[in-house]
Structure 1
Amino acid sequence: MDTPDQTREDAAASRAARRRFVLELWSVMRAWRWRIAASVGLLLVAKVATVAVPLLLKRIIDAFSQPNLPARLPIYLLVGYAVLRFAATLFNEWRDLLFARVTLSAVRGYARQTFAHLFALGPRFHAQRQVGSLLPDIDRGTGGIAFLLGVGLFTIVPTLVEIGLVLAVMLRRYPGGFALIILATFLVYCGFTLVFTARRVVYQRRVNKLDARAKGQLADSLLNLDTVKYFTNESVELDKFSKIMGQWQEAGLGNQRALFILHVGQSFIIGIGVAAIMLLAGMAVLERRLSVGDLVLINAYALQVCLPLNALGFVYRESRDAWVNAERLFALLRVPPDMPGAERLPPLQATAGDVVFEDVRFGYEPGRPVLDGVSLRIAPGTTLAVVGRSGSGKSTLARLLLRFYDPDGGRILVDGQDIRLHSPSSVRRAIGVVPQDAALFNDSIGNNIAYARPGADAAAVEAAARAAQLHDTIAALPEGYASAAGERGVNVSGGERQRIGIARAILKAPPILIFDEATSALDSVSEHAIVEELERLARNRSTLVIAHRLSTIVNADRIVVMERGRIAEQGTHAELLRAKGMYARLWLLQQRLERERE
């Protein structure tokens, strides 16, 4: 249970979030101030026309209700009535057309900003969040901003303007009792709506949270569909999803009950207000104090006020929902990147590709070091292989070199430049990576290769594929380079996927290469062929090889053996075998296992 201090802190945080949100929307509106001003002008003209329609209708009814009918048809009144009705619609539609650019531009801007922000956030954030739960937050958040800017602004403001105009006309033409009833109905309606909508927001937040959890669970299960089927755990995943959806259903029912009370209460208040106005007007007509035209006018104004009140209640409820949705989007945008301002640093100038790790220390979590004082060098044009048990820090070296993280201590130099003083994107442009499992987009094979160098022409893509010994395989496909790789590359084999990864690195042509266990997922035949391609690719480049199978690195210029975040041994393959240390034991163990498999 929350303490009073926690409740006060939550309330203060909510108020601060609302202030930030209002400032955000204000900045959007200020950028489009002239277009918004024109839209508001059209809105006011439309509302004046709307309020004038019942006045003209009263004059028409009174003209035809007299004992002696007019000698001539009051054409100007009848035509004017039609023109006013058309003008109200015309100016409203014109306003919407004019304002559409504001709303759509704001949604586009925030969607792009969110997308860019997600790229700026580091691996720590993405490791803790599910893609399936992020997407609904982004979708609902941008939709909420669009609603608050468009429908919210141009429903609340016009309704208030319309009610103000109606009250002014009623006070000028009729006894104050009519205006008093309309004002009292408006105030009671607003008070009731504010109180009960605030109660409903609690349910709406829970519905949104559970909806995001359900979509996250669904996406996680589908992304790991093969694993689910391996262990025949379809029922387990279904139970997890059903449990979340059950909670979502209960929250939704609570939300609907709150909505029922809100709708019924609002309709009751409007019904009482309309009944009171019509009773008062009917008595005045019977007493000959008002004409039939006055009764029609008062009835039209009562409906003209009460119907927008209903719309106002709907918009207020939806605005609160939109506010809740936008809150989550803005909370996401406020998550600070791991390296704020890093992209404003000067670009790295990498030519020779001389890589040096100087006394590097690093841990993903405080108190749990992964690297502890690692110093090593990859001389230009040489290959350095790193081996060791799982968790020894091998792959962490690659992540630090790519500036996914910065060292806690020490530094990493490329051609004498500390990479922390240069933008991460420029560091990564100087490095080509062939990972354990090359990730492919649901696009053509040609575009997947060209991803390494956007804008590369077909000849360059084909040359990279030829160098990776992949061209003949692609050419044999019915659609050639236009053949679809499928989602996550399901249409290509493991060996072909790795060759696409190699072709990407060839196309990028960087001075530095990283092979992160690039053959560990392949069979022996495929591994042998891929290793030859990797060695050909590594010629004349500085190469860091993260290896599991020692047979793939026997030709490396230098091999480093990692143990608990430190360098335990280093040397050539022959030197390390002669030393009869950890490397030699790992080599003998893997050789024995290979023989047993044969």
Structure 2
Amino acid sequence: MSPETDDDPFEDQRERVDNPMRRLFAEYGRENTFEFVVGVLASVAARVLDLMPPVILGLAIDAIIRQETSFAAGFPVLPEAWITPYVPATRDGQFLLAVGIIVFSFTAGAVFHWLRNWGWNAYAQQIQHDVRTDTYDRMQLLNMDFFADKQTGEMMSILSNDVNRLERFLNDGMNSFFRLFVMVVAIAVVLLSYNWQLALVALLPVPLIALFTWKFVDIIQPKYADVRSSVGKLNSRLENNLGGIQVIKTFNAESHESDRVDGVSMDYFDANWDAINTRIKFFPALRILAGIGFSLTFVVGGLWVINGQGPGPFTGDLEIGEFVTFILLTQQFVWPLAQFGQIINMYQRAHASSARIFGLMDEPARLAEQPDAPDLAVSEGRVEYDDVTFGYGDGETVVEDISFEVDGGETLALVGPTGGGKSTILKLLMRMYDPDEGHVNIDGQDVRDVTISSLRESIAYVSQETFLFYGTVRDNITYGTFDADDEAVVAAAKAAEAHEFISNLPEGYDTKVGERGVKLSGGQRQRVSIARAILKDPDILVLDEATSDVDTETEMLIQRSLDELTADRTTFSIAHRLSTIKDAEQIVVLEDGRIVERGAHDDLLSEDGLYAHLWGVQAGEIDQLPDEFVERAARRQAEVDAGDD
């Protein structure tokens, strides 16, 4: 089944997470309390200062221009006795005081707005950084079968898109929430202190907006989960296609891949448009509800001022300045209510993203390390496999009852048909996986009983799938031995027969190799990888088709260097070119996950078994091979092809 038709690969992880937003604030918000407090307090101060100009304007109309009320008595909430000592007796003095308060409110408000933005941005950015790095650190600890089931684009979607959505909510969403919350509460207090009857009219839409918002949350939440899933699938498809662009071009498959990208992009379009369609209906409806409150306030307050008395059940007086303040503040009050929907929208997006993030963080690692595990101590480099059986978790056994010993300093070669379990055996040695049964020991120490870091520090691995990081040739050779000096780097490159071609590159060892080493040939990449292993100077060397991408002449040169490198250390070698391992002290032949032959090269040839037949294939003696061997080879290839499907 293609990736774009699968369910969300992180659905299981996501469903195990309870209250992801509460967990976000509990685990990461507490570490940034100072920035949070600055953001909250500055939001309160900035919003209060924003309310001063309309309040002072209304007060000036009634107290200074129309002189129908006392300047001191016109301040909302605060007792008149507190204000009177600071109010000038003359109209000019009161006017200048009003101007001064307005200028102060704008100036001080600008300062607190800056503090508010600094606090929330610092809070959001720090949490974003911590969440991303913690998620990546956790991802690195997961065992390899987790990565076998997930695509790179899906995991990149979590580390990039989902974490960025958290930052947008923590910055814009939290900033807006406290700003609007303070605005609504402060305006409500001011309006109630001026005229509680008219204030109730202005507050009338609040319950309806709350109910409407709750319903929106219930509808939009699963839609945003679908959007996050579709984004991950789209990223996976794009990542696969960009990584395989050479294959696409050489097979003239551009139109086919365009159709596949169009398909996953349309899935994302449909999911996103479904959420957008819900959202764009919600916000205008909120504005209508908010507008009703403003319109009712204007009608009731206008009739009140025009007629000099409250309409209908309303009683008491309403001054023109109070009415102006009411209109200005009601407008500032009503629209923030509508904007709460935007905050809810951001919250729901962040909720869906945080569930994926914490779902990944909570993914259990199959490989457990004992809390008091000692470091691996390599003395001789003796390796023992004792009745090892292993399968990749899908119920199918890959290797079964594997037992052999390799003395320190010896070379053991693993050969056999494709899919026989050769690479799997070496991955168990490096503890990429743990055996289901049996033990893998190094100098009598079970690899599960020592620290993983010390185990892998003692082993150098050269894979048939050479991977180079974006950076210079030097960066890639020193990867894992980061403190190596230039002399050691050059020596390792010479031993890997890489120094000559590196010297001919435009910038030598400082030449950028491109993404995945694309600027180098396959053979050059492999030689850089071998140089990396040589520089590490390990106790145990693992060569998995280490010369598969080089020509015969280069293979001869590298093999000469590897002979020197493997002379005094335990070496495991997988090779389909049997000529490269014929001098190994011990050759283990695998078929269908079991050991079928073992011995030295000449002994195995004399047995006329599987190894001898494989040697005959490479020697060009195909016509002399028995029919049974050919039939078994055809059957195995069919099984491999079926597995690829």
Band of TM-score, shorter chain? over 0.9
Paired with 1:439 and 1:496, the residues of 2 have a C-alpha distance of: 11
SS at match of 2:397: coil
Please state if 1:57 is matched with 2:57.
Answer: yes
Please state if 1:240 is matched with 2:260.
Answer: yes
CA distance 1:523–1:154, shift in 2 (3 Å): same
Counterpart residue number, 1:6: none
Which whole-Å deviations, capped at 9, do the CAs of 1:494-523 have from their partners, x for residues lacking one? 222221112111110001001101123333
Counterpart residue number, 1:272: 292
**Percent of aligned positions with the same letter in both sequences?**
31
The match for 2:237 among 217, 241, 246 is: 217
Counterpart residue number, 2:313: none
Counterpart residue number, 1:207: 227
Counterpart residue number, 2:197: 177
Indicate conservation of the 8 Å contact 1:60/1:78, yes or no.
no
Aligned-residue offset at 1:594: 9.6
CA distance 1:204–1:35, shift in 2 (3 Å): closer
Counterpart residue number, 1:133: 154
CA distance 1:566–1:14, shift in 2 (3 Å): closer
Paired with 2:525 and 2:62, the residues of 1 have a C-alpha distance of: 83
Which whole-Å deviations, capped at 9, do the CAs of 1:271-318 have from their partners, x for residues lacking one? 111000011111121133322211210011101211221322211111
The match for 2:133 among 95, 112, 125 is: 112
Please state if 1:190 is matched with 2:218.
Answer: no
The match for 2:249 among 192, 209, 229 is: 229
Aligned-residue offset at 1:438: 2.2
Please state if 1:87 is matched with 2:115.
Answer: no
Counterpart residue number, 2:377: 349
Counterpart residue number, 2:534: 506
Counterpart residue number, 1:284: 304
- More displaced, 253-262 or 386-395? 253-262
SS at match of 2:506: coil
Which whole-Å deviations, capped at 9, do the CAs of 1:19-39 have from their partners, x for residues lacking one? 243033123222233443343
Indicate conservation of the 8 Å contact 2:462/2:533, yes or no.
yes
Paired with 2:12 and 2:373, the residues of 1 have a C-alpha distance of: 36
Counterpart residue number, 1:66: 66
Paired with 1:366 and 1:518, the residues of 2 have a C-alpha distance of: 29
Amino acid at match of 1:201: Q
Paired with 1:551 and 1:343, the residues of 2 have a C-alpha distance of: 45
Which whole-Å deviations, capped at 9, do the CAs of 1:554-589 have from their partners, x for residues lacking one? 111111111222221111111111222221122122
Paired with 2:16 and 2:50, the residues of 1 have a C-alpha distance of: 39
Amino acid at match of 1:29: G
SS at match of 1:397: helix
Paired with 1:342 and 1:449, the residues of 2 have a C-alpha distance of: 32
Indicate conservation of the 8 Å contact 1:453/1:508, yes or no.
yes
Counterpart residue number, 2:392: 364
CA distance 1:61–1:113, shift in 2 (3 Å): same
Amino acid at match of 2:24: E
Paired with 2:67 and 2:412, the residues of 1 have a C-alpha distance of: 108
Counterpart residue number, 1:534: 562
The match for 1:150 among 171, 178, 181 is: 171
After superposition, where does 1:22-61 map in structure 2 within 5 Å?
Answer: 22-61=22-61
Counterpart residue number, 1:311: 339
Indicate conservation of the 8 Å contact 1:133/1:213, yes or no.
yes
Paired with 1:344 and 1:292, the residues of 2 have a C-alpha distance of: 78
Counterpart residue number, 1:455: 483
CA distance 1:177–1:67, shift in 2 (3 Å): closer
Paired with 2:269 and 2:465, the residues of 1 have a C-alpha distance of: 40
Aligned-residue offset at 1:342: 5.7
Indicate conservation of the 8 Å contact 2:20/2:355, yes or no.
no
Paired with 1:263 and 1:311, the residues of 2 have a C-alpha distance of: 8
Indicate conservation of the 8 Å contact 1:513/1:541, yes or no.
yes
Q: Where do 5+ consecutive residues of structure 1 fail to align?
A: 1-10
Counterpart residue number, 1:161: 182
Amino acid at match of 2:277: R
Counterpart residue number, 1:491: 519
Amino acid at match of 2:240: D
Aligned-residue offset at 1:223: 1.1
Paired with 1:27 and 1:586, the residues of 2 have a C-alpha distance of: 58
CA distance 1:37–1:254, shift in 2 (3 Å): closer
Counterpart residue number, 1:413: 441
Q: Where do 5+ consecutive residues of structure 2 fail to align?
A: 1-10, 69-89, 309-316, 625-645
Indicate conservation of the 8 Å contact 1:343/1:423, yes or no.
no
- More displaced, 117-126 or 155-164? 155-164
Indicate conservation of the 8 Å contact 2:13/2:356, yes or no.
no
Q: RMSD value over aligned CA atoms?
A: 2.5
- More displaced, 466-475 or 33-42? 33-42
Aligned-residue offset at 1:181: 2.2
Counterpart residue number, 1:478: 506
Indicate conservation of the 8 Å contact 2:120/2:174, yes or no.
no
Which whole-Å deviations, capped at 9, do the CAs of 1:225-282 have from their partners, x for residues lacking one? 2222333222221111111222322333322321221122011111111000011111
CA distance 1:14–1:298, shift in 2 (3 Å): farther
Indicate conservation of the 8 Å contact 2:32/2:126, yes or no.
no
Aligned-residue offset at 1:152: 2.8
Amino acid at match of 1:37: V
- More displaced, 410-419 or 367-376? 367-376
TM-score under structure 1 length normalisation = 0.92
SS at match of 2:378: coil
SS at match of 1:17: coil
SS at match of 1:531: helix
Paired with 2:12 and 2:339, the residues of 1 have a C-alpha distance of: 31
Please state if 1:398 is matched with 2:426.
Answer: yes
CA distance 1:71–1:361, shift in 2 (3 Å): closer
Count of aligned residue pairs for this structure pair: 585
- More displaced, 381-390 or 151-160? 151-160
Paired with 2:15 and 2:266, the residues of 1 have a C-alpha distance of: 32
CA distance 1:29–1:486, shift in 2 (3 Å): closer
Indicate conservation of the 8 Å contact 2:28/2:130, yes or no.
no
